[in-house]
Amino acid sequence: MKLNIFILFFLLCIPTVHASFIEDFGASTTSMGLGGQGDLTNKHAALNYYMPAALAHNSTIQLEASSFGTRYQIKPINNIVIENSINTDSGDEKLGNVDNDFSDLITNTFHVSLPLQRIKATLNATINSPFPYLAQFDSGDPYAPEYALIKSRPRRPQGFFNLAYALNNSFSFSLGAHLGVKAESNIFTKAAVNNEGETTLYTYARGGGEVSPKLSPIISLFYQHSDLKAGVYFQGEMESNLRVDLTADEFSTGIIFDSIIESILFYDPQTLKTQLSYQLTDNSALLGSVNYYGWKKYQTPKINVNGLAIMRSTVNYEKLKLKNTVSVKLGGKYHFSEKLNFVAGIGYEQSPFDSDFSENGNTIHSDIMALALGSSVDIEVFNFNITTSLGLSYKQLVNKSVTKTAGQENGQPGRKIGAPGYEIGGKIYTVSLGLGLEI
């Protein structure tokens, strides 16, 4: 009966799924090997990222660390229009290439679960950060075709903190927060551009700003009975943004302008996860996850010039057509022996862009299919239980052909940036090593 419920769960979800957007690279080596989902059959610390309420039943100190190395092989885009009248003074058309040669990415995660036995609860934390820098972002060129989501979204630190509480042996819940930042600054400058008189004029600037934390809520509910385990997880929207108010005054010509520069450094949509696991036999288990993402508030970086003397105000170049997305992940786990475990997973993920990319703008992405494998070995050292793990992941961006419509972006005769068209697609490879400790 329970297995029938599990199968029905996926049959109901799969017809609505056509693909989804990549959700990072996995919270741990094992979870990456399962296709990017938590292992509800094992109370490991990385569950704090996927289903923290499941950790309410944890009675030991759990520590888990993983390191991920990712390599991109994204298709280059050759012989397209990279300049026309919207991004050059002359208005002349120029052809060029976009190599899409993304740098390799190293990411580290650390998880801890601390039992609070007096109140039947646990305190759980997850830290994720790229290496060797603290953060790296690239909002992308608004004119050249670029995979802005892939370039910037994984390359930043993240923090997740949750308190999980067990109502009884079957039910538990958690409350927590996802930590982000918001940066704002104000800059005023005077510039001496045409300084040809006898009087020497100097350029100067004054600036100030602040960086403040941002929090989004996390709530999860977990249920377990016999061989069946299930949970629901909600995470609020997180927008880490930069806002610069730039005012400038040029001495000689009197050019004055006030420019608001707004850039979305990182964006995490509202997320709803449902996870299910079923213990098939003493040695095997089946796991699955269906995730729903709300992308409607995502926006590309923009610069608005509000008021000025000589120049004309600008308008946003790119208006994205966004849609909420769904992803499905299905994984299996098998115990070869008491010490050796093997996991495998597949995933199908949607792109949040509801567009054929034929009109203005060149922020691009496509659906993704994923395949992952992993293994772990449990050993005991000085009465400590240690788990070492290895994981491999392969992601394929679904090939998609783009053909630009006639005319330049401003309505003038000619061809758009990116014309006549290009192919979207590529591969992403990830290898991961992990270490877990139970005290």
Instruction: Identify whether the C-beta of residue 22 lies closer than 8 Å to the C-beta of residue 150.
Output: yes
In angstroms, what CA-CA distances link 49 with 90, 270, 394?
52, 14, 21
Give pLDDT tens digits for 203-257.
666 777 777 778 899 999 999 998 999 999 999 988 766 676 766 666 555 556 6
pLDDT band at 109, cuts 50/70/90? very high
Neighbour-count burial for 34-52, b at 16+ CB within 10 Å, e otherwise: bbbbbbbbbbbbbbbbbbb
Instruction: Tell me phi and psi for residue 7, to 5 degrees.
Output: -65, -40
pLDDT of residue 162: 96
pLDDT of residue 286: 96
Within its chain, how far is the Cα of 253 from the centroid?
A: 45
pLDDT of residue 64: 95
User: Would you tell me how many other CB atoms lie within 10 Å of the CB of residue 126?
Assistant: 26
The residues spanned by each domain of the chain are 2-180+218-236+270-292+321-438
pLDDT band at 400, cuts 50/70/90? very high
pLDDT of residue 263: 61
Mean of pLDDT values over 416-439? 92
Query: In which residue are the tokens 């208005």 written?
Result: 91
Neighbour-count burial for 347-371, b at 16+ CB within 10 Å, e otherwise: bbbbbbbebebeebbbbbbbbbebe
In angstroms, what CA-CA distances link 356 with 7, 41, 139, 398?
34, 41, 21, 13
Q: What is the sign, positive or negative, of the torsion defined by CA atoms of 370, 176, 150, 155?
A: negative
Neighbour-count burial for 274-298, b at 16+ CB within 10 Å, e otherwise: bbbbbbeeeeebbbbbbbbbbbeeb
Give pLDDT tens digits for 424-435.
999 999 999 999
Amino acid at 187: I
pTM summary value: 0.82
Instruction: Identify whether the C-beta of residue 242 lies closer than 8 Å to the C-beta of residue 266.
Output: no
pLDDT band at 259, cuts 50/70/90? low
Enclosing H/E stretch for 61: none
Instruction: Identify whether the C-beta of residue 162 lies closer than 8 Å to the C-beta of residue 179.
Output: no
Give pLDDT tens digits for 268-326.
889 999 999 999 998 999 999 999 999 877 765 444 444 443 444 444 566 678 889 99
Q: Could you tell me how many residues make up the chain?
A: 439
CATH assignment, 2-180+218-236+270-292+321-438:
2.40.160.60
Mean of pLDDT values over 40-47? 90
- Please, what is the average pLDDT of the chain? 81
Please, what is the end-to-end C-alpha distance for the chain in angstroms?
37
In this model, does residue 348 exceed pLDDT 60? yes
